[in-house]
Amino acid sequence: MSFGDFVENREKDIGGNDLAVRKIVTYPAEILEEPCETVTEFDKKLVKLLNDMYDTMIEFDGVGLAAPQIGIRKRIAVVDIDDENGTIELINPEIIETGGEQTGPEGCLSFPGLYGEVTRPFTVKIKAQDRKGKSFTLEADDFLARAIQHEIDHLDGVLFTSKVNRYLEEEELEGLESE
């Protein structure tokens, strides 16, 4: 199986731009359990990759997507929980502080149809770089903090299934989105 291929039927978005939706790597796959490499080049290729990751996340109704999920072993993730933060692009993200605790349902685009309850810190402070290589810090709580931690775990080869307390049944799943 080859990873990172383009899906054949490209479509256009409302603005007439080409959508480039990539294939999602689903479990089991080695790349999902390997640590990713630090990004050192902030070039056009990176911009294209980030744009494709966004298109792919939206196409599959995700709230986040990490590069290894489309077959790329690099420390890159996008998160968009449809709140006022918009799309957050995380390059070489690192958690620098966590606080509190939350337990809630979680899913993953690499585990279609699988949902489980996961306990994570309620707040998180991270440091990352943007698409131009500029460093920034970000503080998040609640669901955004959960989504960010889920994606950073992917970059370390850690899957949410290793943190699930209890898997959820279909009737408990109304309206849940995957990461």
Q: Give residues in contact with Zn ion (CB under 5 A).
A: 108, 179
Where would I find the H helices in the chain? Answer: 44-59, 142-155
Residue nearest to Zn ion (CB): 108
Note whether 49 and 163 are within 8 A (CB). no
Residue 154 counted as an annotated binding residue? yes
Our CB check for Zn ion shows the closer of 116 and 133 to be 116
Residue 164 counted as an annotated binding residue? no
Note whether 93 and 148 are within 8 A (CB). yes
**What's phi and psi for 52, nearest 5 deg?**
-65, -40
What minimum distance in Å lies between the beta carbon of 134 and Zn ion? 26
What minimum distance in Å lies between the beta carbon of 70 and Zn ion? 12
Our CB check for Zn ion shows the closer of 25 and 39 to be 25
d(CA 81, CA 45): 25
3-state secondary structure 93-135: EEEEEEECCEEEEEECCCCCCCEEEEEECCEEEEEEECCCCCE
The residues that are catalytic are 151
What minimum distance in Å lies between the beta carbon of 40 and Zn ion? 24
Residue 58 counted as an annotated binding residue? no
Our CB check for Zn ion shows the closer of 10 and 167 to be 167
Question: Which residues are annotated as part of the binding site for Fe cation?
Answer: 108, 150, 154
